[in-house]
Structure 1
Amino acid sequence: MGADPYDRVMDPAAGPPAMRYQVLGPVEVWSSAGERLALGPPMQMRLLAVLMSQPGTAWSIDQLVDELWQGRPPKTAAGNVKTYVWALRRALRTPDVPDPAILAEATGYRLVLDAQTLDSAAFDDLTQRGYHALRQDLCSDALRAFEAALALWRGEPFAGLPGRGVLLSVRARLEEQRSSLLEEVADLHLRAGRHNELIEPLRAQIDGDPLRERPWGQLMVALARAGRRADALATYRRLHRQLSDEVGVEPGPDLQQLHTRILRADRELSTAGARTPEKPTPRIVPRQLPAPPTLFTGRTRELARLTTLLLDDSGPAGTVVVTGTGGVGKTWLALRWAHDSLHHFPDGQLHVDLGGFGTATEEAAPSTVVVRSLLPALGVKPLEIPAEPAAQFALYRSLTADRRLLVLLDNARDAEQVRPLLPGSARCGVIVTSRHTLPGLVAAEGAHPVALDLPSTAEARQLLVRRLGAQRAAAQPAAVDELITRTARLPLALSIVAARAAARPTFPLQAIADDLAVSRGGLAALATDDAATDLRTVLSWSYRLLSADAARLFRQLSLHPAGEISAAAAATLAGAPPHLIRPALDELTLANLLAEQSPNRFRCHDLLRAYGEELTDAHDSAAERRSVRKRVLDHYLCATRAAARLVDPGHQPLDPMPRTAETAQPVFADHRSALAWFTVEQRVLLAAVDDAVAHGFDAHAVQFAQTLTPLLSRLSQWHDLAAVQAIAVTVARRRSVPRAEALAHRDLALAHLQLRRYEAARRHLRDALARYDTIVDRPGQASIHLQLAWVYDIEGNPREALPHAEAALALSSSSDDKRGTAAALNAIGWGHARLDEHVRAISYCERALALHAEVQNRVGEAHTWDSLGFAHQGLGAHPTAAACYRRALALYSDAQDQCGRAETLVRLGDSHRAVGDHDTSRDLWGQALAIFDRLGHPQAEELSERLATAR
């Protein structure tokens, strides 16, 4: 046997890969011992194929459900996905690879593979090596790499699996790459004079894909060189007939010219071993592209978008504008795509750095570019270049009119700099990169915008791993994660960090991460001696072009608690009405110093904010900066209180509202719109708590924590609630506010309770009761006793829970707190139901239900209907129990209380199972599991095991 193609992409010192994953044919996984692993049923294998199609990419449960069932999932789809993942993890574990390759993410899963173990990645790597050798005219090296890449193929990619969704697009990309590679190999064999050997393989290739013209031309050349001129002409007639009958077109001009040359018995075509002529007359083919970026990883979607926009069935066409902030990787993306697509541009590539953003005082003028770079590259001698710019541009358009060229115009400042440099043919592809969005070019010239955002965390990790080596990165995963966070995933910053780490192979990565932590964002640690790669210098090139208003807003944005901000909050930040601040927002967006990620919502990445903070420290007074911070905190506190009152009408804030004269407040129609706003702003509001503490706004921090409780609870964000309330406990104690401290302890206990940290919950509830010794607040004390009852109940001690529920009832009744009384009555009813005293339970719950309806506490009603269902279920009245549970589900759905809904779904499933309706029971449990899994709830694992047993 010959050498394994995998060996060509591996470090020989690293040894063979532990596992081999294969998609270039039937999907298979092989152990290091050479055994094929059993991957399970078709749907399970399809799930693995989806993960293998984009290794390192995080897939949410919803995305995986869409891929597996294509819009028609069963009700148990989410649960099925978890079951498939569990089975695949077991299948992929071997003695030498004990850790699962499929990792759980916050919302789903991702497959982590070493690139050397996946055949499609090996194919890509070998292909790139071959093209690199070809550009250096090392034909034999290129041929070896190409043939090694093709040897990895065992059939159609993902053979045997339905071709839809992501598998369809990845399969099409791989097959296109393989077809192009076969054509490159044929060209190389023709150059080497192996025309006789090529005839039959080319015929087979044409039979498989008869509408690709390049193999037809190669077959005609091979036949002509083999002395079979008549067969070559017959081949052309066959192609002509096929294209005319099936597509209604004639062969392209290159094939027509080749046909003419064969008719004329061109001597070069009849000479064995001669190079394949590309044109009937010699012509300079420019190759101006800089070298491909060696560290480039990811950007799969953006590369596919460029292919869609720049290539169609007839070849390259169109103009694309790649926009994004400084250092985000616009040039890298353009170069990577250009080098991958060279075969589509046989007439060459032109490249110009227009200098729109850089150290030069002026950007390159179009006439200068044409005279000094483009016309000479197209073969025009200096004395032949016209004197007038208009004539220069006309000559440039004439020379590009009949060519298939790729033109890369890098670093453009505006549309006027680009327009004269657009070629004179729709067959040319043009890529423009710019920090500005160039709307004029999009509107007038029909250019297609491609906005380049920060890479995903997985892509950022791939970049570091590729430079640092998989072994070093795997040994220090926490440091790698911190480097990604500190660099804000900005490719330029990641590259600087990777270069420093690579230059210091013995340094722990954590030491480099610590350097970045010295200043927020680590700008000082990202300085270099080269202005083109020094991050602070690169960012300054964009800032210095801003108007005074936009520059001031850019500085103020660094004082915002988080990297994303609404237009209303930006107006508050600036202390101006929204309509007056909009022009500055638009200017920052056009300059890609800000991204409008959705209507009236903007994002600024961390390193830009760090740069803005340096600027505001230098240009704005301390009093101005504090005023901006207070305005923003007031804005968010007022809005959060308004949302909390709609979600929980019984919510009572600790302190009066701050003055809001300078704030533009959101308006909520109902609790749904309030929760929708909170879902969007949640990360910002949590950051506001930290920001308030960090800058001496203690009162704001405590008020935020108390106001966030009903919102975080409704969305089951227990870890966030615990973090916020831990801050509130510390700050309230520092400020000596006993009631605030008691409430913080109570709400921190609630978070611990939901996270099943029962001892911690009891400790904080005892601390809360101790604070009430110094103040009179019976409703507050009652709420503590209710939570203590809840703790004991969840721990399985309903007899210890019941006295606390009764104490809560006494305290609430004595203070005429109807909401508290209703909650206590329900807690007592639940406690009796847990003790199998179901008739007494129903009596208490019915009293609670009437009070909840009186005070319009719909979530309280939902809790009580759930308790009633549990009591009737205990009596064996399953139809009545099911009706109660469904009333609770309707109320929970209206209130958007997902955790309460999931718990009731479980009990409703139990009720159906008790009467033998196992299918409905499993379906209801599956719905509950999907919710628990999405919330990261501890009950998800227990319910998943129950479902697996039931199945």
Structure 2
Amino acid sequence: MELGVLGPLRIHGTAAPSRRMTGLVLGVLALRPNTAVPVGRLTDWLWRGRPPASASSNLRTHVAELRGLIRTADGEGPSIEARQGRYTLRVTPDQLDALRFDVLFEEGRRELAAGRPEVAAGRLELAVGLWRGPVLDGLTVPDDLRHDVERLAAHRIEAIEDWIEARLALGRHAGLAAELDGLVTQYPLRERLWGQLMTSLYVGGRQAEALGAYRRLHALLDKELGVQPGPAIRDLHQRMLRGDPLSGPAVRLRTRPQQLPRDPLIFVGRDAELRALSTEPVSAISGTAGVGKTALALRWAHQAASSFPDGCLYADLRGFGPQPAQDPVAVLDGFLRSLGVEERPRELDELAARYRTELADRRLLVLLDNAESAEQVRPLLPGDSASRVVVTSRDSLAGLVAREGARRLDLDLLPMDTAIALLRRLIGARVDAEPTAARELAEQCARLPLALRVAAELAVSRRGPLSDLVAELGLETRKLDLLAAGGDPMTAVRAVFSWSYRQLPTPVADAFRLLGLHPGRDFDAYAAAALTGDADTLAALVGGHLLEEQDGRYRMHDLLRTYARELVTPSESDEATTRLIDHYVYAASLAMDVAVEYEKDRRPKVSPTTHAPTFADIDEANAWLDAERANLIAVAPVASARQVGQLSAILHRYLDNGAYYHEAQLLHACAARSAEPEARAAILCNLGVIFWRLDRPREALDRYLQALDTGDRSVAVRALNNIGLVDEHLGNYEQALGRFAEAARVADEVGDRPGRARALDNLGNVTEYLGRYEEALRHKEDALAIAREIGDVVGEASTLNNIGNVHERTADHHAALAHYRQALEIGRRIGHAEIEGHALDNVGSAYRNIGDHAKAVDHHRRAIDLARETDNNYLLARALNNFGETLRQQGSPAQAADAHREALDIAVTLRELLVQARAHDGIAHSARTSAEAREHWRQALAIYRQLNAPEATAVAACLADS
């Protein structure tokens, strides 16, 4: 390791440079590796806002000395690059310990989450071992870089926690208790460490000491914060009190989202406002565009983050941008997803209630940026909890103040002294050399931070006197006749933008105009290249404060975006927007071909575009889809009928599998409105699937019927099959049989072999539910023959699973096992998680019925894990029921009842009646009292009779015998 900042500064393993300032230059650059830092900003950091006249010269001297110190014999080592008034430390993870730590930490965390603790322990041990002490120990880090130091320190303790968890998972308990006892002394408010200490003591046979550790934590939190331990620790405590066995790693604490965007690089003043934000549960920052509302909120949030141990949530509510404002339903669904809630309600009121419940005993910071109105914000408030909310908006949010008791902070223009200080931070010593010109520049920018940043960047790039620039801006102001605007600050912003835009080289100016057309919150370099034809201009726009960059994604401020759009001609706009959407269509098709390869031939073929990413594996493809999901939906309203129809067909499986129902509904509805007649029926079916998932079967049925009414015979089979599924779901089995039979007949007429196979398989399912097993087996075997004939491996595997179910009903368990194993092999071979999960669960049931409970438990657990990983709640509920039945037969009734209760909760959310009935039956068989058993058998019997299911006879007998 050639450079080290995780402890005292090191160069090639030796001590820091003898001159403190030289070491500080390297330390500052190393905290922002591979990032171009303007000279003015560096000198301001190094000399704490008061650089001497010789600062730039002194800095060059320090850099020259550092280049000699870090140079390696082969010339392949770190380097300091100087370009366009900026310095950049070019370094790789193998050359800088902080970068190497980040890589090892993320690798270890991924391996731990994937269930590979052995590999995780190795990575995390290496990561923790890189630390030699506090970051840049012995150097005074500039205030603006404290967040970088705190981020590394926070990740260090998280890496330690993950390393301990990996060792606990591997059963390496020896010595951990002593290590953890020291850590909870050092970090007394880290509840996860306390949970790990309790676990290591308990698993090591020291139950009394484990319970004593809980009492110590309880007393500490009560004294320091006036709160009790969180629910995960309380649950662990209860399990220890009962003497329950603990398996696997230490109990994980709930998900801790850390969603805050980056802390502003440059921030001055606003001390009174920062103090005011520290006092109220809900704060609303309002003010004109460009005044610095988001920057203030982010600066405060990063300073206060350590006070919120359960994490930080962030949402851009898009109240005043080119996209429609965010729907609170989508925001709440995303928040709950981030908090680890798997079964999420669908409607706004239920979502808000669940959100308030989740936050009731947590301490989170919630930042709601760019709100449109109080009505948009109100459902996102956490209720009576220790969490804090900060809202930013151009609106006054009067309703939030009046009804929710929010404290409103009206953010005014920067005071002149603060505006000058910001210019000094951005430009450097020239501000003090020309104080009059600096004041005039601040006035011309209306003392708005956004305008000041854009103007300052132009001043940095040009070496002439500030007074020349002030004169130029004055001419621009007069040209735009801003004096007649009554002093509106926005007119000053437009003058600065216009002035700055005209200084840009032609390719950069062209890119600026076209990038303003992007309808999303942010975008990557591929999308930028699709819009502009060239991504090389991005660096220049970022340097000029015309774009913001974070983690390889780019964002344009709303005001800049509005100005850029005003400069684009209609023909430019149409051509660029078409290129952008074609890019998203093609890139989405590439991603889906990797992520869901088995449906590759069913998706529409699209024309390639010039600039497109490549995906090495499923993880990369899904990561791109997740990152671009909002943009893929945002382009739908401005897409052509062809483009939006393609997006609907390409993305429907991704959105459905990921339970992104709100986004899917918007996309498919948009596609249906503009679709050509020949595409409309298929889109209506996609939309029906989403209403089905949203537990709105009547609306789903309406869309399927609309698709049927189009007369499109190629889609009629799918529509009829889906209508039959709705009838089946509602318990209308005879109607469902009629729909499926009609689907099979129409499929024969139009030559739709896959559709006929699906219809026959559905017929088999319903006849199975009705106890007509021979008929069910005949339908399913006909479906299997078709699937094999046409090479439909997905249909083949699904039907194999279903045939196995019929054999189980007739007690031919070895035949069932053989079919399930074939389905499992196909599911694994094609990477179909749903088929694999159902097959695993079915194999477990077959083993249970054969009498091999150990193999049954193993397969059920693997199915449950896969269901949780893929958010497949139907599979999860079904597997939990089967797991519960196996546990009961194995002699563990209490654990069986827990599994059935979880299955029941999920099934109620899904409104899956058969699964609910089976869960009630399982709870009754595992109940501790006869009264509890009778109550659950009564509920099971009512459902089975409603569905006319054959299980009703057995349940009625159990109820009579009880």
| TM-score category of the 2 structures, normalised to the smaller one | 0.3 to 0.5
Larger RCO of the pair (alpha carbons < 8 Å, separation 6+):
1
TM-score for the superposition, normalised by structure 2: 0.42
Q: Which has the larger radius of gyration?
A: 1
TM-score for the superposition, normalised by structure 1: 0.42
